[in-house]
Amino acid sequence: MRVLVLTYGTTGDVVPYVALGKGLKKRGHSVVICANSRFEEFITRHGLEYAYMSDEITQLIESATGRSAMEGLSSFFGFLVTVLKLMRRNHAIQVEILHDTWTAAQQHEPDLILFSPKNIAGVHFAEKLNIPAVSAPLFPQFIPTGEFPALGFPKLFRGAGYNRFSYRVVRKISGLLGGKTLKNWREENGLPPAFCGIDVCHDSSGNSIPVVNGYSASLVPSPPDWPDSVRTSGFWFLERPGDWSPPDDLLSFLAAGPPPVYVGFGSMASSQSKKFRTDSVPHDWLFPRVSAVVHHGGAGTTAAGLRAGCPTLVCPIFGDQPFWGKVVHDLGAGADPIYQKKLTVDNLHDAITQLLNTASMKEKAMELGVQISNEDGIAAAIAVIESEQ
């Protein structure tokens, strides 16, 4: 089977799909990943085919304007304000990404399309090509449930009705922001208007499509009101290369005292932050050697820290980061998250002290680490994908 994977964004939006792609390749499938162009070398280095996509969306995120705007994304409504600020350029980027991904779909002739919800056009491409599509979210955002509200909405304890309403709002706003671009594409390609519009769970006629969540049910159990077409596989970890070795200065530092606290914000460092950094180090090697982790709260970093049994402080900026910070805290495996724009020497000191001196946090982090380590998220996801052959 030939699988086309559609995603875009920063490193955390690409690495899990590369890990899944490598698992598919080991099973004898061929895999093409369409992602923004800065990841071409990374994808091909891992033995997968690459399909071009413009890198302009990441350049916008990393620009001074983009970073300043993102620091206000503590809620869904903050997201709306930011999108309105960037609307003109954002629309042009949407059109470009749609063109690039459709070109990839035509050129590579896939048998199945697996898509990130950030690249919702995947299900429409599959319809045009008359092939199956599988939705592959990295966090629970677009699948309605009465158990909890959509990301960015406050938990108002008003019951299932409010929670389900929040997902309708997300879908409606998403349709207003990106629906016109998709509507025009469908018309240009001879497809009827989509019944469901922007929807990661259904095709354009309203029929359920397979959804495989790339995170652990030990962190976010599947709500009982999710349809049978939605399954949660476990995280998709990309293990370090077999020939990787740590730098000598890092080994010396780690050997010089007790396990240190890891602090790192990846590509999501605040525009106001001062950067203390070493070269990139694989989390699966480093995190078992530290006492606690402090990071931005991307799904992959959160998973790696917990898999290593590390109590965690999340300092989020936007997107799913506040969600993962709240999950870790609510499970008892970490401190209450602190937004990067509110981070100070004093509250960081207090939070790290809590991580290091609260035995229950360490115990819970280690318990979750065992559960996550015992899962084979890649194998479970592949089972879902192969069932569509």
The full DSSP string for 14-44 is: THHHHHHHHHHHHTT-EEEEE--GGGHHHHH
Q: How many residues does the structure list for the chain?
A: 389
Q: Where in the chain is the domain with CATH 3.40.50.2000?
A: 2-238+376-386, 248-373
Per-residue confidence (pLDDT) for residue 271, from 0 to 100: 47
pLDDT at residue 319, as a whole number: 78
Name residue 47's amino acid: G
DSSP letter (8 states) at residue 198: S
DSSP state letter for 138? S
Kindly give the parts of the chain with pLDDT less than 70: 61-90, 157, 177, 195-198, 266-275, 277-279
- Tell me the whole-structure pTM to 2 decimals: 0.91
CATH topology of domain 2-238+376-386: Rossmann fold (3.40.50)
Give φ, ψ of 34 to 5 degrees.
-100, 110
pLDDT of residue 155: 78
From the options 3.40.50.1360, 1.20.140.10, 3.40.50.11290, 3.40.50.2000, give the CATH code of 248-373: 3.40.50.2000
Using CA atoms of 233, 235, 236, 242 in order, give the dihedral in degrees to the nearest 10: -130
At 76 the pLDDT is 54
Angle at 13 between CA 19 and CA 65, to 5 degrees: 155
Query: According to the model, what pLDDT value does residue 223 have?
Result: 95
Which helix (H) or strand (E) segment is 365 a member of? helix 359-373
**Three-point CA angle 214, 118, 81, nearest 5°:** 125
Read off the amino acid at residue 384: V
Helix (H/G/I), strand (E/B), else coil: 280:
coil
Q: How far is CA 154 from CA 11, 75, 83, 148, 176, in A?
A: 28, 8, 20, 9, 22
Q: What is the spatial distance between Cα 46 and Cα 150, in angstroms, rounded to a whole number? A: 34
- SS3 assignment, position 272: coil
